[in-house]
Structure 1
Amino acid sequence: MDPNDRSAGISRRRLLQSLAMAGAAAALPRAFAAPAPSSSPPRRLGVALAGLGGYSRDLLAPALQLTRHCRLAGIVTGSPHKVPEWQARHGIPDANVYGYDDLHRIADNPAIDVVYVVTPNHLHMPLTRTVANAGKHVWCEKPMAMDAAEGEAMVRACRDNRVRLAIGYRMQHEPNTRRFMAMAQERPFGRIVKLRADAGWFGWRQGADDAWRLDPARGGGAMYDMGVYCVNAARYGTGLEPVAVRAWDETARRDIFRGVDETMRFRLEFPGDIVAECVTSFGRNLNTLQVDCERGWYALSPFQAYDGNVGRASDGTVFPATLGEKPRMQAEQMDQDALAILGGTPLRAPGEEGVRDMRVLDAVFASARSGNVVVRIPD
């Protein structure tokens, strides 16, 4: 639709402005419901980071210094040479340092309440089960697992051990994203017709921490890494669950991307004849979410950056960035998850949310492997 079209009218503008004033307070579908307000918690949750790569080092650890309801209490790593630097920088005692093989010992450590799993994807399920069996809450980066079956096993392990499982969908804690989630229900421009979600970045990091992103056995490839943003955005952008998908693996540099996808294009079908056209790539810079409706459109670009996610709508409404510079988003995510645990309220992105995305990813891979046939997505 024409981005200069102002025909949507004053009433829609006022509705969007009221949403801006109210934030994301509008009613949301159950899968995306925000936790109820909670009084100040009696203590801060001790968090151990499992996996000490760039995301933990450069974003999560600094973000924990900004949180009000949690603190960096421990580390878990398969790379012992990283331990001295982390201890020196963050004052972590020897008693709060673990390897992957002795992680079960964390059950006896009252200083640690939550383990945030930030490892390559193939370790998410086994580490989550170990942590849950030790009686600790789990925060797990996206994608939550290698497939939906692993994700379901993670949910069961946490449920059986009466601990909470949150998936690291940081965007669902970002104000403009929350507003778009509310708009999926309010429909200020009428019926949703189409959604577009593109997420990608040109090139890839080739350091030791990121070599796994080109390894199929460890969950490498663009679909796992970036495509999850598109899938989750298509779901929260429509407020619906997709019923089918058709996918095309458009990998060009197979000498580099051996066994993993460089670029994946997929088309999601939703109830009500709504479609979502998505592209994810390690070969293109992509970062746009747009929702086209009967009488207008609204979009975020970028929609999944670490900061500066801004947008606009066809009636001239602007969605400015309000959260602050990185790592403010990660701090907000962890604080909200901590409050949900401390207050016994719903998580914004529980394990079941991650499983829904994994079912879509399973279907995307199945479609691409089988010659782009339409694949049904299980409920």
Structure 2
Amino acid sequence: MTRKTVRIAMNGVTGRMGYRQHLVRSILALREQGGLDLGDGTVLWPEPVLVGRREHALRAIADRHGLSEEHVCTDLGSVLADPTVDIYFDAQVTSAREAALRQAIAAGKHVYTEKPTATGLAGALELARLAHAKGIRHGVVQDKIFLPGLLKLKRLVDGGFFGRILSVRGEFGYWVFEGDWQQAQRPSWNYRAQDGGGIVVDMFPHWEYVLHELFGRVTSVQAVATTHIPQRWDENGKPYDATADDAAYGIFGLDGGAVAQINSSWAVRVHRDELVEFQVDGTEGSAVAGLRTCRAQHRSATPKPVWDPDVPATEVFRDQWQEVPDNGEFDNGFKAQWELFLRHVYAGTPYHWDLLAGARGVQLAELGLRSSAEGRRIDVPEISL
């Protein structure tokens, strides 16, 4: 068995997502399991290089996880100039991402990045074109489709369980505290449009790939984006004006004729089993999927409720659904996609969650905001290199 060291520059690991999901639960988890076995006698051994502006924060993370001084750097240019660094990963704030990705692509590094990949479609498409021209491998995080609940849902789709799919209804969100009397669960930049914040920019790229991968390409969007909470308090307890949307209500037309309706909100109190749930209805059956669970109801087992508002309901509707079994073990979704990307880079396995796929997400967010501003339905054209 040959061990190959893979040095990965990780920019943005001081943030919640970059640290928890990408560094700890993905790259360090791969090291804990002994590396990634490619199946040809080669084991990839990931070596993270923590990149960022706050050296003390990076060193604290390195010390916490037993990483040496050579694993920390505050100069992105020098990291990208290092020939021993193979991959650049970006989990920075959205406004800083595009320029850093351009720099990494120019340096000839393979790139893997959080989304949105850029602040606008033109920039996102340019990144995809530059990467293609450079001949590097590139990938975009699309973690939701690796969740156990959605993997089970895809199993039902692929098995023809639904028949003709009619509709998809999604509910996502939770109450994010304003920050005055309880600390907010999200950083303040999320609520400032000038800093790249907003729930449309954040979540519509997710909905694009979920819908695209499971049900078909998004062909139209009609959205209402709004700011329900106009004032919030930042990390230092100072009030600020929330200039970005904190809720969005979208209707998406899908290739094949199905209709998807997804509500996204950081100003909603949860009355559902999970923070995100999707209900899919088809001619032959329906299913409700969350982060981890999925329940289904086939046509042959569908009850016959009768509307009668004059008497109390006697049916327990949730009990009429069947749990979809795991039928396997599900790893952390972020780690699972990291493994696929690393296999793509070093073993040449197929991989289609690339910068062009990321550009589709940016496009949907851009058109969603335009739809809200203009108060109309907008067609979503296909994009290509």
TM-score range, shorter chain: 0.7 to 0.9
Deviates more, 1:249-258 or 1:144-153: 249-258
- 1:373 is matched with which residue: 355, 376, 382? 376
CA distance in 2 between counterparts of 1:209 and 1:265 reads: 20
Matched, 1:212 2:189: yes
1:153 corresponds to: 126
Shift of 1:248: 0.9
Shift of 1:292: 0.7
- 2:7 is matched with which residue: 30, 40, 46? 46
Which TM-score applies when normalising by structure 2? 0.77
Matched, 1:262 2:246: yes
CA distance in 2 between counterparts of 1:83 and 1:272 reads: 48
CA distance in 2 between counterparts of 1:317 and 1:43 reads: 46
1:66 corresponds to: 29
Q: How does 1:88-237 map to 2 (within 5 A)?
A: 88-99=63-74, 102-203=75-176, 210-237=187-214
Q: Percent identity?
A: 20
CA distance in 2 between counterparts of 1:227 and 1:195 reads: 15
- 2:262 is matched with which residue: 274, 278, 285? 278
Q: How far does the alpha carbon of each residue in 1:288-321 deviate from its partner, in whole angstroms, 9 at most, with x for none?
A: 01211012111212x3xxxxx1101113553345
- 1:312 is matched with which residue: 282, 295, 299? 295
CA contact (8 A) 1:104 1:134 kept: no
CA contact (8 A) 1:74 1:92 kept: no
CA contact (8 A) 2:5 2:47 kept: no
CA distance in 2 between counterparts of 1:208 and 1:272 reads: 38
Match of 1:65, SS state, is helix
Shift of 1:187: 2.8
Shift of 1:105: 2.3
Deviates more, 1:154-163 or 1:112-121: 154-163
Which TM-score applies when normalising by structure 1? 0.78
Q: How far does the alpha carbon of each residue in 1:136-178 deviate from its partner, in whole angstroms, 9 at most, with x for none?
A: 1111112222222121121122222221111111223345434
Q: How does 1:321-336 map to 2 (within 5 A)?
A: 323=329, 328-336=332-340
- 1:339 is matched with which residue: 319, 338, 343? 343
CA contact (8 A) 1:299 1:311 kept: yes
Instruction: Tell me: CA distance 1:128–1:241, structure 2 relative to 1, closer, same or farther (3 Å).
Output: same
Shift of 1:123: 1.4
Instruction: Tell me: CA distance 1:93–1:317, structure 2 relative to 1, closer, same or farther (3 Å).
Output: same
CA distance in 1 between counterparts of 2:189 and 2:137 reads: 28
Shift of 1:125: 0.9
Shift of 1:226: 3.1
Structure 1 residue runs of 4+, over 6 Å off?
A: none
Q: Across the two proteins, how many residue pairs are aligned to each other? A: 328
1:360 corresponds to: 364
Structure 1 unaligned spans of 5+: 1-39, 304-308
CA distance in 2 between counterparts of 1:253 and 1:228 reads: 23
Q: Which amino acid aligns with 2:251?
A: R
Higher CA-based Rg: 2
Structure 2 unaligned spans of 5+: 37-44, 233-240, 299-320
- Report the RMSD for the aligned CA atoms in angstroms: 2.5
Deviates more, 1:220-229 or 1:289-298: 220-229
Shift of 1:95: 4.4
CA distance in 2 between counterparts of 1:42 and 1:147 reads: 40
Match of 1:378, SS state, is coil
